[in-house]
Amino acid sequence: MTDINAFIDEKVKNNDVFLFMKGTPDFPQCGFSGQVVQILSYLGVDYDSANVLESPELRDGIKAYSNWPTIPQLYVKGEFIGGADITREMFQSGELQQHLQKAGIEVKQSA
């Protein structure tokens, strides 16, 4: 396992909710990352994140890790949930909230 894969694996497996994004939660640098941040903030979910713009190795590494071509990428309890479109659709249907609650993650708001 490469160093970047080990870094990604550690983040995904040691955080209940983790978001690989462009920018930071306080300053998203793409609209799609901003959408996922808004959803998680609305739900009051505690999460950690990594800015893929800080490292080309991380940006390429997360795409290979998940076999998913776009960023952001949301993980819950080590499971890849999806990017912005999937996260938004799951949120709008209530499926994301249910998934988080089943995983034992506190959700403060419902859609």
Output the known binding site for [2Fe-2S] cluster. 30
Binding residues: 30
DSSP the chain: --HHHHHHHHHHHHSSEEEEESEETTEESSHHHHHHHHHHHHHT---EEEEGGG-HHHHHHHHHHHT--SS-EEEETTEEEE-HHHHHHHHHHTHHHHHHHHTT-------
